[in-house]
Amino acid sequence: EVQLLESGGDLAQPGGSLRLSCAAFGFTFRTYAMSWVRQAPGKGLEWVSGISGSGGRTYYADSVKGRFTISRDNSKNALYLQMNSLRVEDTAVYYCAKDPTAEVAGLFDCWGQGTLVTVSS
């Protein structure tokens, strides 16, 4: 069974950092692109960042470019999101999502359960 399990969400101060992780199970991880999608409390979905299956290509939303870094370790079947210079508006549930292709196409056929990031002083 395909499964994604996020971790690392926490309370952080504005200007602080957090690192989110996503463990993947049940599929050949290196074959598929992955993304992070977030949802602020009571709001809609926002794509944050994506990475190709090989890790060679990365993409970012304008709202996080220069502050967040996506990476993956295909030997560990793991996806990461390093979040620096956090802002109050980064508060959201962060979902790890799998693309059914090797390149980031913005189509998500499997989602994790999400991890909550709260940025507040």
Q: Which residues bind other proteins (CB under 8 A)?
A: 35, 37, 44-47, 50, 59, 61, 95, 104-109, 111-114
Give 27 or 111: the residue with its C-beta nearer to other proteins: 111
The CA–CA distances, whole Å, from 1 to 23, 28, 98, 110, 111 equal 13, 12, 13, 11, 13
Spatial CB neighbours of 3, under 8 Å, sequence gap ≥ 6: 24, 25, 26, 110
- Least Å distance, CB 68 to other proteins, is 14
By beta-carbon proximity to other proteins, the closer residue of 7 and 17 is 7
Taking the complex as a whole, the smallest distance from the CB of residue 5 to other proteins amounts, in Å, to 11
CB of 108 vs other proteins, minimal distance in Å: 6
Q: What are phi and psi of 119, to 5 degrees?
A: -110, 115
